[in-house]
């Protein structure tokens, strides 16, 4: 069985340290002075003395919060869930292309190697191609032609003002037409006992009312506008 050679030394040290503390506390303790007795309010925290006004300058009043003041409550954020949601919703990073040129797997970035063409260094980089320019010009030309055709159609459909001669002729024609229909209406028999007679009488009354309305409108307005439909 193994026995340490320091066994006796350890026992001696343990007994030696214990023998010094066999009294009620340490053997030599400084006796407190009778002048250092406990006084009233001696253990309460002492405030700094108030500063007096110097050279007639008034000190600023203490900033006491108002009754309507509401402290800002900090909301505890769950950064673990926030980071997890950001990772789930985030766009995955594209892997960097590398080039492996040895059997041991030695690799280096492919972009600065010169094996991939850099289109930024081309002479015509950023220049608008000719076919795009031609297409834009053609679109612009078609747009102008379309706008010109629309204007022509609007001009053709624009309302024209009747001259005094045309207005007089139309008014005479309407009155003549009204006289002819009125003459036919006056020649109707007094007794309308058949369906044909009733329908014919109603048609003549409708035509007379329409002609009277047109004649009154033209006579009331001196300027009459018509549209080419």
What tokens were used for 77? 């954020």
Angle, helices 164-186/195-220, rounded to nearest 10 degrees: 160
The residues, any chain, with a CB within 8 Å of residue 145's CB and separated by 6 or more, are none
Would you call 29 helix, strand, or coil by DSSP? Answer: coil
The pLDDT confidence band at residue 96, using thresholds 50, 70 and 90, is confident
Q: What is the mean pLDDT of residues 71-84?
A: 85
Residues 99 and 115: beta-carbon distance below 8 Å: yes
Main-chain phi, psi angles of 54, to 5 degrees? -110, 130
Residue 170, pLDDT score: 87
How confident is the model at residue 17, as a pLDDT?
Answer: 65
Higher pLDDT, residue 228 or 131: 131
User: What is the pLDDT at residue 141?
Assistant: 95
Say how far apart CA 99 and CA 110 lie, in whole Å: 5
83, HSE (Cβ side, Cα atoms, 13 Å): 3
Per the prediction, the chain carries an average pLDDT of: 82
- Cα(201)–Cα(185) distance, integer angstroms: 7
Name, in order, each residue with C-beta under 8 angstroms of 36's C-beta and a sequence gap of 6 or more.
Answer: none
The widest CA-to-CA distance across the chain, in whole angstroms, is: 160
Q: Is the pLDDT of residue 132 over 90?
A: yes
Q: Please give the C-alpha separations between residue 164 and each of 45, 195, 219, 223, in angstroms, as whole numbers.
A: 111, 44, 12, 9
Is pTM beyond 0.95? Reply is no
Mean pLDDT of 108-128: 82
Give the residue among 209, 76, 100, 226 at the shortest CA–CA distance from 163. Answer: 226
Calculate mean pLDDT across residues 156-176.
84
Boundaries of every domain in the chain: 96-158, 160-226
- With a cut of 70, say whether residue 70 has pLDDT above it: yes
């Amino acid at each position: 069985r193994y026995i340490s050679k320091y066994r006796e030394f350890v026992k001696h040290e343990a007994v030696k340290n214990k023998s010094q503390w066999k009294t009620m506390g340490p053997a030599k303790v400084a006796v407190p002075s009778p002048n250092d007795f406990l006084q009233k309010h001696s253990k309460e925290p002492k405030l700094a003395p108030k500063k007096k006004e110097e050279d007639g300058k008034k000190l600023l009043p203490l900033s006491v919060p108002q009754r309507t003041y509401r402290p800002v409550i900090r909301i505890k954020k769950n950064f673990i869930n926030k980071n997890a949601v950001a990772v789930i919703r985030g766009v995955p990073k594209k892997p960097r292309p590398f080039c492996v040129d040895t059997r041991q797997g030695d690799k280096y970035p492919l972009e600065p190697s010169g094996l991939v063409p850099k289109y930024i260094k081309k002479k015509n980089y950023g220049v608008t191609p000719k076919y795009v320019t031609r297409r834009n010009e053609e679109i612009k030309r078609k747009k102008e032609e379309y706008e010109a055709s629309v204007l022509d159609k609007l001009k053709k459909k624009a309302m024209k003002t009747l001259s005094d001669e045309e207005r007089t002729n139309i008014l005479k024609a309407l009155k003549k037409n009204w006289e002819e229909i009125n003459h036919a209406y006056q020649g109707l028999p007094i007794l309308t006992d058949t369906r044909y007679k009733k329908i014919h009488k109603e048609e003549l009354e409708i035509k007379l009312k329409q002609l009277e309305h047109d004649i009154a409108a033209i006579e009331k307005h001196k300027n009459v506008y018509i549209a080419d439909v």
